Structure 1
């Protein structure tokens, strides 16, 4: 199932996505009689989703995806955790050895952004970069989770663009401010539930800038694999329902490249992960 959050005629709602159509929260209530809650977070993680799915409702999917604004699937995750240098090909292009333990960066929820929206960047940033990543959405929390149980804690997956101000990163010698600007984390376009993805460790992921292919890799190139990511992070911090873990980016970013061509005002970014959908965003520099 694909579950998203939308703005329709100025009103926020959520629902299921199939073949370019949406079954909204209002339609789900009408067809099932289940009084599902106001927010998508309650719906996904407090038992309502399972109750609706168990009834296998016949939905009309009456709303066209082209008639709505697609929002970031989860507006207020407890934590957004990003991994650095977790792809063998990316570490190699940076002349680095991938770290044995997750090198994590925490970013604020105000970075979250939806597809078909602008990435708004202050004009003092001169080296704006992109990073396509597979994001995990945690559906069951836990502490000290064994690797053998890790995948059962994932509710679903989505595409994530870990936008980075490289000049700020170089100045600060750490990642928090460089990745923490408002709108710097487009994600979605919706959450694809884990049962639809047979092997999350074998998904193609690609990035195009103004239709020019920049990243072309596979989640198979992760150094620390998904079960280990969850287990290792849970040994540091308790994972909670709704947490987002973005698992690192492959080769092809502009960081430390000779003659790097960083993002410019008006650039169009397209990111796609196999079976999960595509993010499309434009860059907007502001004073």
Structure 2
């Protein structure tokens, strides 16, 4: 299934994409799964059965898509998780995952603008595979980790590079409002044969900037879940952004920073395409 969160007028709902429409699961599973996180945690089987037997309730074109999980409890990002990206940034492969967090108010859904901050010109793109947790995970072994994955999405971990480099902590450059693209949907894990063999491409104004494969992750998804669950509890709906391959603006000379009016897209095989226009703050 492809699960989406949406606004239908003022109403917040979630559902599954079917053709060019949406089966409104928030209306049909309201008692047991009023929110998409509830559906992910307890009701994916019933959701799939519901989608299989009924026609869409809404047209995709008539709603506004939001991040698949609109307000995750945790958004955990992994830095320098591809060797080629580590090299272009002048770093070596780390012995442990490089972890930083995003706030929920940084997230924007497909079609919404990424916001270019008015106090920096160093706005960079980073296409990534996002992993969405489906089952509570604490002290999980890598061998058991994939059973805790609900599905996958595209992520645009756009970075404000000068703020990111103020100290050794990445957080300031990763938490400007409206800089984290997420979507267009959550593809459930049963539909992705191997999340470590997916082509990932980022384009700016139609020009390819990143072309990588999730096969090249330094720390793969089981290792990430094992490590993260060793120090925090991962809950249904939590998001792990797994890192970006080479080709970011900061690794080029001169850096082609994102500008007002640019169009940036992340496309991941078997997942979909996440696109945003870049709009200057204010």
Per the TM superposition, whether the score is higher than 0.5 is yes
Q: Is 1:160 aligned with 2:186?
A: no
The 1:203–1:16 alpha-carbon spacing in structure 2 relative to 1, beyond 3 Å, is same
Partner of 1:22: 22
The 1:26–1:72 alpha-carbon spacing in structure 2 relative to 1, beyond 3 Å, is closer
Any idea what SS the aligned residue of 1:230 has?
helix
Structure 2 CA distance, aligned partners of 1:86 and 1:26?
36
Structure 1 CA distance, aligned partners of 2:51 and 2:153?
23
Note the C-alpha offset of 1:143: 1.6
Any idea what SS the aligned residue of 1:172 has?
coil
Deviations 1:183-209 (A, max 9, x none): 111101110000001100000111110
Q: Is 1:129 aligned with 2:124?
A: yes
Note the C-alpha offset of 1:64: 2.3
Partner of 2:141: 146
Structure 1 CA distance, aligned partners of 2:196 and 2:73?
25
Note the C-alpha offset of 1:100: 2.1
Contact 1:163 / 1:179 at 8 angstroms: preserved in 2?
Answer: yes
Deviations 1:119-163 (A, max 9, x none): 123211110001011111011112221111010010000000101
Q: Show structure 1 runs of 5+ residues with no match.
A: none
Note the C-alpha offset of 1:55: 6.0
Q: How does 1:44-63 map to 2 (within 5 A)?
A: 44-45=40-41, 47-54=42-49, 57-63=52-58
Partner of 1:2: 2
Q: 2:215 aligns with which of 212, 220, 235?
A: 220
Any idea what SS the aligned residue of 2:87 has?
helix
Contact 1:100 / 1:224 at 8 angstroms: preserved in 2?
Answer: no
Contact 1:162 / 1:185 at 8 angstroms: preserved in 2?
Answer: yes
Structure 2 CA distance, aligned partners of 1:86 and 1:23?
36
Q: How does 1:1-287 map to 2 (within 5 A)?
A: 1-25=1-25, 28=28, 35-45=31-41, 47-54=42-49, 57-287=52-282
Contact 2:26 / 2:34 at 8 angstroms: preserved in 1?
Answer: no
Structure 2 CA distance, aligned partners of 1:37 and 1:170?
42
Note the C-alpha offset of 1:56: 6.6
Structure 2 CA distance, aligned partners of 1:57 and 1:27?
16
The 1:62–1:54 alpha-carbon spacing in structure 2 relative to 1, beyond 3 Å, is closer
Note the C-alpha offset of 1:104: 0.3
Any idea what SS the aligned residue of 1:66 has?
helix
Bigger mean CA deviation after superposition, 18-27 or 271-280: 18-27
| Aligned CA-pair RMSD | 1.7
Any idea what SS the aligned residue of 2:47 has?
helix
Deviations 1:25-77 (A, max 9, x none): 36745xxxx745432222222x2333333567412124221222110111221
Structure 2 CA distance, aligned partners of 1:227 and 1:89?
21
Q: Show structure 2 runs of 5+ residues with no match.
A: none
